[in-house]
Amino acid sequence: SQQGEEDPQALSIQEGENATMNCSYKTSINNLQWYRQNSGRGLVHLILIRSNEREKHSGRLRVTLDTSKKSSSLLITASRAADTASYFCATDGSYSGAGSYQLTFGKGTKLSVIP
């Protein structure tokens, strides 16, 4: 079953505004990652936050993680039209039997930034 669930499903904002997307997950994780997908393309990694971290920054991106609530948020500050894309959270938990990592994605948030 899918681990992460993003909220909202779609978000439309004006250029220059901040965009916040949320992700909830069900079971314990090692790391949580955020990815971006431009229309019809593969996903591109944005940022990874470990289970023992609470906040992480990368350029205009800020990610928070609350393991007690099993939730994460991605904040994009001063959004640009080029930020228009779908954003996915992904969690990895050890696959018990094989010791490898199963990377599970949510359904994504579709962000539209209007110029």
Partner 1 sequence: DVKVTQSSRYLVKRTGEKVFLECVQDMDHENMFWYRQDPGLGLRLIYFSYDVKMKEKGDIPEGYSVSREKKERFSLILESASTNQTSMYLCASSPSRDPLEAFFGQGTRLTVV
Which residues contact partner 1 (rule: CB under 8 A)? 1-2, 30-31, 33, 35, 40-45, 48, 88, 90, 92, 95, 97-108
3-state class (DSSP) for residue 22: strand
- Give the nearest distance from C-beta 73 to partner 1 in angstroms: 18
* Of 68 and 100, CB closest to partner 1: 100
Peptide bond preceding 115 in cis form (omega within 30 of 0): no
- Give the nearest distance from C-beta 16 to partner 1 in angstroms: 29
- Give the nearest distance from C-beta 32 to partner 1 in angstroms: 11
What single string gives the DSSP state of each residue in 22-62? EEE-SS--SEEEEEEE-TTS-EEEEEEEETT-SEEEETTEE
